[in-house]
Amino acid sequence: MLNDFVDRCVWAADLSPEQRERVRRAMFVHEYTQGDYVCHKGDMAEHWMGVLEGIVKITTVSPSGKSVTFTGVPTGGWFGEGAVLKSEIRKYDVMALRRSTIAFLPRDTFLWLLDTSLPFTRFLLTQFNERLGQFIAAVEYERLLDIDSRVARAVSSLFNEHLYPGIGKTLEISQEEIGLLAGISRQRANQALKVLEQQGLVRVDYGVIEVLDLEGLRQYGE
């Protein structure tokens, strides 16, 4: 399963056979159940991480107890490259929203790829650019938009082809998970999704969201 996962990674497509083999030897996986922490705020960033299966949220809790979710990362997404590059402690928690399998690539292999693979370096530049845009947008909609719009943006952020290649138009995600990503209750997420469905932007089924109008979701509330 791990070998197939490496072969499906966009960043691995242009690696040489030697590079790909070294990645396979270095990478390992762990499984987590719902609510488990993949890593904690304050941990040293010793690995680049990818979601082989499942979905996680990147979050933090203030000293006063307020929780803030930065983003969700579904199957196929990679995260944590900034902290790995800077060799610093992580400034966020990563929690599994459901049973998830996470791949870990050690920092020394990550840096070796950066030194030896131009396509990998280009991939990381795109990753940084997309992630920066995502976080800027998250700050904007957290401060300026109503709850329905925040849910629309939370859903659309999961359908970024650059960050989550091959995600398609359908994602297995529950209304509770959407609520956790948007920082609202499951009931309020359900109400917002009904509004978005009535406007023809999504189709909601049990545990599944199909996006019908991605640009409409991204611009909702403007």
Per-residue pLDDT of the chain (222 residues; tens, 9 = 90+): 677 788 888 899 899 999 999 999 999 999 999 999 999 999 999 999 999 999 998 888 777 777 777 788 988 899 999 999 998 999 899 999 889 999 999 999 999 999 999 999 999 999 988 888 777 766 666 656 688 888 888 888 888 878 887 778 888 888 888 887 777 888 998 999 999 999 999 998 888 889 999 988 888 877
- For the structural domain made of 145-218, what CATH number should be given? 1.10.10.10
Residue 33: count other Cβ atoms within 10 Å of its Cβ.
10
Q: Domain 2-130: state its class.
A: mainly beta
8 A C-beta contact, residue 167 and residue 76 = yes
Distance, in Å, from the CA atom of 24 to the CA atom of 130, rounded to the nearest integer, reads: 26
8 A C-beta contact, residue 184 and residue 142 = no
* pTM of the shown model: 0.79
Which residues belong to CATH 2.60.120.10 in the chain?
A: 2-130
Distance, in Å, from the CA atom of 158 to the CA atom of 51, rounded to the nearest integer, reads: 13
Which residues belong to CATH 1.10.10.10 in the chain?
A: 145-218
